[in-house]
Amino acid sequence: MDPVVARKHFDRIGRFRVLVIGRSNAGKTTLLQRICNTTELPEVFNSEGEKINLEVVQGSLEAREHNIEDELIFRSNTGFIFHDSRGFEAGSEEEVKLMKHFLTDRAATTKLEKRIHAIWYCIPLTDSKRPIVASEELFFNECNTGNVPVVVVLTKADAMELEAIGQLRDKGLRMKEAKLQAGKLAKQLLTEVKTQIEAQLAWCKHPPNDCLALLVLTCLIHEGMNQVNANCDPLLRCTANALDDMELQQLVISTQQINFNLNIDYAIK
C-alpha cells in the first residue's frame, strides 16, 4: 500500500485493534509474536494510556492478570493494538457480563480509534477428544459481536503429530517408523478435529464468520505456528476478507509493511 494512503487510514481510524480470546496456555502469546515478527513480550498500557511495568511479569501474556481494557502493543509492529480476554475461561456470570460490555462498547463507540475491528479466538489442539469446552460454547452462544468478525485459530497443532505417533506406537511400530508415518495420520486426525469443531460451533447461536476458521486453521497448521518464521498471512487474509469496510481491510494489510506479496494482492483488489 502507498505510504500516504496507509498514513490516512492510521490518522482516521488509528491502529488495527484485535481482541484475542482463549484459555490459559492456548498459544495466544505465540500467535501475536508471530504476527508481529518478534520474540519479545508486548508493552502494556492501561485504559488511561499509562504504561504498566512489565518487570514484575514472568512468562507469557497468559501468566499475567490484567484488565481486558489493557492495550498490548509490540514495538516490532505498532500497527496493531491487542486486547487479551484472560479470565473469560472461568465462565462466571461476572466475566460474561464484562465481555459483553466490552464488545458492545467497543463495537459501537463513535471514537473510531477505540473500536474493536476483529476477534481472534484461539482454541488449542492439546485435547483432540474434547477440543471445545464450556467457555467456547458460552462465548459463541452468549456473545453477539455484531459486525465485528470472529476468526477461530487452532493453536498448538504439533499435538496432532504427537497423537499420531502415539497411535502408531500402540499398533506396534518402532519410534523411527512411527515418526516417518506420523505426517499422513496427523493430517487425517486434523481433518477429524476440524470437522468436529465446525459441527459444534455451527450449532451455536453466534458461530464464527463463514467458516473462516477452517481456512485459517489449514494454512496456519501446515506452516507450523511454533516456528519462529511461521507464516501468518492466512490469518491476516481471512481477517481482511471478513471485514465489510474496505478501509479496514486496507488498514489490517498495511500493518504488514514488509510483506510485499500481501500488500500487492490487496492493492490489486
> For residues 147 and 107, is the Cβ–Cβ distance under 8 A?
yes
> For residues 126 and 159, is the Cβ–Cβ distance under 8 A?
yes
Q: How many CA atoms lie within 13 A of 37 on its CB side?
A: 11
pLDDT, residue 212, reads 41
Q: How many whole angstroms separate alpha carbon 125 and alpha carbon 111?
A: 37
pLDDT, residue 231, reads 61
- The Cα angle at residue 136 between residues 133 and 142, in degrees rounded to 5: 130
Q: How many whole angstroms separate alpha carbon 149 and alpha carbon 206?
A: 11
Dihedral sign, CA of 8, 10, 12, 18?
A: positive
pLDDT, residue 215, reads 34
pLDDT in tens, the chain (269 residues): 444 444 444 455 678 999 999 888 888 888 898 888 888 989 998 877 788 876 554 444 554 556 888 999 999 998 999 998 876 666 667 777 888 889 888 877 777 788 899 999 988 888 878 888 888 888 899 888 888 999 998 888 778 888 999 999 999 999 999 999 998 898 888 888 888 888 899 999 998 865 443 333 344 444 444 444 456 777 888 888 888 888 788 888 777 654 545 444 544 45
Question: In the chain, what are the domains?
Answer: 3-156+210-268 (3.40.50)
Grid cell 476478507 — which residue?
Answer: 241
Grid cell 465462565 — which residue?
Answer: 91
Grid cell at residue 15: 491502529
Grid cell at residue 118: 476483529
> For residues 247 and 177, is the Cβ–Cβ distance under 8 A?
no
Helices and strands: H and E segment counts in the chain: 10, 7
Grid cell at residue 35: 504476527
Grid cell at residue 45: 498500557
Virtual torsion, Cα 31, 35, 37, 39, nearest 10 deg: -20
**Cβ–Cβ contacts within 10 Å for residue 95, how many?**
17
Of 121, 125, 234, 132, the closest CA to residue 186 belongs to: 125
Grid cell 499398533 — which residue?
Answer: 171
Q: Crossing angle for the helix pair 233-242 and 28-35, nearest 10 degrees?
A: 90
pLDDT, residue 156, reads 80
pLDDT tens-digit profile of 68-112? 889 999 999 989 999 988 766 666 677 778 888 898 888 777 777
pLDDT, residue 177, reads 93
pLDDT, residue 82, reads 95
Grid cell at residue 247: 478501509
Q: What is the DSSP letter of 42?
A: P
pLDDT, residue 157, reads 76
DSSP H stretches of helix in 43-133: 93-108
Grid cell at residue 137: 460454547
Three-state SS letters, 182-205: HHHHHHHHHHHHHHHHHHHHHCCC
Give phi and psi for 4, each to the nearest 5. Answer: -65, -40
